[in-house]
């Protein structure tokens, strides 16, 4: 597959230094917005299914890739809290541009943390009409797969020491930073992602399989209480999930925390058979994924999940 891609669209500046790219289709004037944010190192057109999804959702929706300060390698010195604040500005922009239209948030990988934090964390921000988590995997458990155990412990201690010394916003040495997806990472962001035990208190640590159920209640449960419908799409063959993790049991815990708090789940929520982390597979696997997203956003428009 060629790495050269071009896509027709509109570049929106939703705040002074941040933009969003709206994929456009001929003779279509959508009034609803599906706002998408990718994972670590992602930006415009880096997620394989972006153009297919833009073409497959109902014509009443537009697919919009949101550039946050954390896009591409910016995640190394950003935070989920900052992402949520910026996403709020983007939501406000499109709600003003299309009064009365639906706004749905969708994240891939670490972008799922942004979406779930938007739906669950404290603070005043524009309300949205739905959320989609595609590949909500644990960054901590993925990091533990990347680094030898002794290195992981040593880097955690280094970052903790730096934070204690007031150097949390300083970039860690290259041996730590560049090994993690090639980005330079601050001590604060390292601890948020790596979330060392026993507390595992990192802001990013929302999806780890070993978290106490109360943590899921504080995120998924809080989102459920706020009444925004949600769909969870967990890839069966996600390479960033340890083999020992029972994916179905993990998703069931997420869904239970959400539903028990009063949340409405989309009918397509659950495991995506045969799918990798970014659903890079073409054919039946991707078609199933696209169909689930399309049906979910259609149901939000109809008001009937």
Cα of first residue to Cα of last residue in the chain, in angstroms, is 36
Long-range contacts of 141-150 (CB under 8 A, 24+ apart): 141/208, 141/209, 141/241, 141/242, 141/245, 142/240, 142/241, 143/180, 143/193, 143/194, 144/242, 145/240, 145/242, 146/179, 146/180, 147/179
Q: What is the pLDDT along the chain (305 residues), one digit of tens a residue?
A: 457 888 999 999 999 999 999 999 987 789 999 999 999 999 999 999 999 999 999 999 999 999 999 999 999 999 999 999 999 999 999 999 999 999 999 999 999 999 999 999 988 999 999 999 999 999 999 999 988 999 999 999 999 999 999 999 999 998 887 767 778 999 999 999 999 999 999 999 999 999 999 999 999 999 999 999 999 999 999 999 999 999 999 999 999 999 999 999 999 999 999 999 999 999 999 999 999 999 999 999 998 77
pTM: 0.96
Rounded to the nearest 10°, the torsion over CA 17, 133, 220, 206 is: -70
Q: How far is CA 111 from CA 53, 108, 152, 293, in A?
A: 16, 5, 23, 16
């Amino acid at each position: 597959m060629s790495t050269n891609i071009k896509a027709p669209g509109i570049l929106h500046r939703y705040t002074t230094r941040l933009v969003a790219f709206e994929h456009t289709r001929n003779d279509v004037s959508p009034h609803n917005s599906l706002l998408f944010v990718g994972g670590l190192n992602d930006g415009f057109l880096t997620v394989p299914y972006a153009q297919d999804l833009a073409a497959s959702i109902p014509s009443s929706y537009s697919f919009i890739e949101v550039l946050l300060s954390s896009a591409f390698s910016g995640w190394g010195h950003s935070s989920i809290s900052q992402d949520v604040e910026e996403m709020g500005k983007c939501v406000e922009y499109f709600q003003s541009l299309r009064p009365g239209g639906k706004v749905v948030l969708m994240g891939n990988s670490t972008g799922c943390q942004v979406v779930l934090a938007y739906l669950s964390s404290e603070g005043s921000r524009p309300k949205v009409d739905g959320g989609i988590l595609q590949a909500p995997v644990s960054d901590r458990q993925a990091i533990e797969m990347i680094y030898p155990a002794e290195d992981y412990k040593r880097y955690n201690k280094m970052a903790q020491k730096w934070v204690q010394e007031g150097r949390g916003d300083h970039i860690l040495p290259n041996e730590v930073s560049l090994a993690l997806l090639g980005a330079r990472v601050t001590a604060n962001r390292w601890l948020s992602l790596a979330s060392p035990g026993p507390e595992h208190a990192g802001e990013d640590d929302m999806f780890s399989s070993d978290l106490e159920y109360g943590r899921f209640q504080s995120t998924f449960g809080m989102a459920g209480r706020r009444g925004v419908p949600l769909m969870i799409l967990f890839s069966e063959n996600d390479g960033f999930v340890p083999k020992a993790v029972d994916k179905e049991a993990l998703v069931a815990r997420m869904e239970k925390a959400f539903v028990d708090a009063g949340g409405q789940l989309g009918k397509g929520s659950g495991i995506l058979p045969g799918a990798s982390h970014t659903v890079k597979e073409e054919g039946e696997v991707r078609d199933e994924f696209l169909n689930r997203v399309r049906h979910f956003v259609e149901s939000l428009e109809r008001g009937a999940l």
